[in-house]
Chain A
């Protein structure tokens, strides 16, 4: 029996006892088999997660139908009125930052930082790191993140930086912010940190901007503007600050 068929039978719960023994053996001794199995298991989880969300929406639909039938009591009216009030207050408070504006500014300013570490030229370099950068170069950010997670020196500053770029390109602001924060704090004597300092601040600002954290974004852009010995993105940051404030 082919290995592929064993896995198929596992998922339809049709393994015979003998096949089950073979299956367990392969799982222990055959890395390729194990990888394939783990992948399909994760796929199953992923599909289940999405299906549950879909079914839950259907169930919520049933619930809505049930509650609509109920008489609209005074209590409900009051609740509705207070929701309306909160909404309108919120609208006035946040109108200043038109909800889509920070996102627009982000999109018009964000360009993933150029790969200066591993230019994809040599095709014979098959290390994980070079595959990661090559995925990065071709815009396959999920793949890049996966590979960055598997490199040996995954905590190195430059790996963190490019992983953050990948997350940011996927608009996963929180992950990007977590990775960029240590690179964007005051550089100590270590020159390797220094190298990423201005860039990390610029991109951290963009991440905050996209995350609607306007004040934090502005303060990061100010760091870029006031950097004493680096002209990186100074003008762009100045321009961005004035555009955020103008409205």
Chain B
């Protein structure tokens, strides 16, 4: 595969193209599962970790932490996955690994985003209220806060005549959400 090809696929992954997601999922699955089984992780947990890993991988592409692939996708997936595997092992058998190993093993290859921010009550509440917003509001907020698009890009995607109209719409959505919480 040429460099250009690889990056086109990353761009499609960023855009949430489901067929690219499926291709990546299928083509790295057995490598990853073997890797996880090597740590004594059972099949079900390994699948769960693999799926979370794919999500984290895509988030790294979105956030721009990963703009081009210097090695095979499975290398990145295993690097992210390894961290998640250690986390699981630490939970299951707290004494089986000493902390030193974990630190050394995880700082390689990637500055990975592992989505481990604390999921607080407040975040949950916001989530509940989010569901009550209009589809349009949720669309705008998701594109901005999760998919990493700028307001100019969102205005183009959602067919707004200009950025300012979108911007005030976004402020209204935020205000509506805030009023329902505090």
Question: Could you list which residues of chain A lie within 8 angstroms of chain B, going by C-beta atoms?
Answer: 4, 8, 11-14, 39-40, 42-52, 55-56, 58-60, 62-63, 66, 140, 142-143, 145-147
Per-residue A-contact encoding for B122-135, CB less than 8 Å = 1, 0 else: 11111111100000
Q: A58-B18, A60-B51 are in contact. Are A49 and B127 (CB under 8 A)?
A: yes
Q: What residues of A have a CB within 8 angstroms of the CB of B115 in the complex?
A: 48, 52
Closest 7 CB pairs of A and B: A44-B145, A46-B126, A46-B127, A59-B51, A12-B150, A46-B123, A51-B146
Q: Nearest CB to that of A142 among chain B residues?
A: B125
Q: What residues of B have a CB within 8 angstroms of the CB of A11 in the complex?
A: 144-145
B55 touches A142 (CB 8 A): no
Chain A CB within 8 A of B104 CB: no
Question: Could you list which residues of chain B lie within 8 angstroms of chain A, going by C-beta atoms?
Answer: 18, 21-22, 25-26, 29, 47, 51-52, 54-55, 58-59, 63-64, 115, 117, 119-120, 122-130, 141-142, 144-146, 148-151, 171, 174, 177-178, 180-182
Q: What residues of B have a CB within 8 angstroms of the CB of A52 in the complex?
A: 52, 55, 115
Q: Nearest CB to that of B58 among chain A residues?
A: A55
Q: A142-B128, A146-B125, A146-B182 are in contact. Are A47 and B21 (CB under 8 A)?
A: no
A-B contact pairs, 5 of them (CB 8 A): A8-B151, A47-B145, A48-B145, A50-B130, A56-B51
Q: Give Cα distance in the complex from A190 to B126, angstroms.
A: 38
B126 touches A42 (CB 8 A): yes
A143 touches B127 (CB 8 A): no
- Chain A nearest CB, measured from B17 CB (Å): 11
Q: Given contacts A43-B141, A50-B130, A59-B21, could you give 18 more A-B pairs where the C-beta distance is less than 8 Å?
A: A4-B171, A11-B145, A12-B144, A13-B63, A14-B150, A43-B145, A43-B177, A45-B123, A47-B130, A47-B145, A49-B119, A49-B123, A52-B115, A56-B55, A59-B54, A63-B47, A142-B128, A146-B181
- Chain B nearest CB, measured from A93 CB (Å): 26
**Which listed residue (B26, B55, B142, B174) contacts A62, Cβ 8 A?**
B26
- Chain A nearest CB, measured from B144 CB (Å): 7
Listed residue (A13, A40, A48, A50) with the most chain B CB atoms within 10 angstroms of its CB: A48
Q: Give Cα distance in the complex from A19 to B89, angstroms.
A: 42
- Chain B nearest CB, measured from A214 CB (Å): 28
Q: A45-B117, A47-B130, A60-B51 are in contact. Are A39 and B178 (CB under 8 A)?
A: yes
Q: What residues of A have a CB within 8 angstroms of the CB of B177 in the complex?
A: 43
B150 touches A62 (CB 8 A): no
B142 touches A51 (CB 8 A): yes
**Which listed residue (B18, B125, B142, B178) contacts A47, Cβ 8 A?**
B142
B180 touches A42 (CB 8 A): no
Q: What residues of B have a CB within 8 angstroms of the CB of A66 in the complex?
A: 26, 29
A50 touches B127 (CB 8 A): yes
**Which listed residue (A13, A142, A147) contacts B180, Cβ 8 A?**
A142
Q: Give Cα distance in the complex from A51 to B148, angstroms.
A: 13
Q: Nearest CB to that of A57 among chain B residues?
A: B51
Q: Give Cα distance in the complex from A45 to B141, angstroms.
A: 12
Q: What residues of A have a CB within 8 angstroms of the CB of B151 in the complex?
A: 8, 12
B25 touches A46 (CB 8 A): no
A140 touches B180 (CB 8 A): yes
- Chain B nearest CB, measured from A76 CB (Å): 14
- Chain A nearest CB, measured from B89 CB (Å): 21
A142 touches B129 (CB 8 A): yes
Q: Give Cα distance in the complex from A46 to B150, angstroms.
A: 19
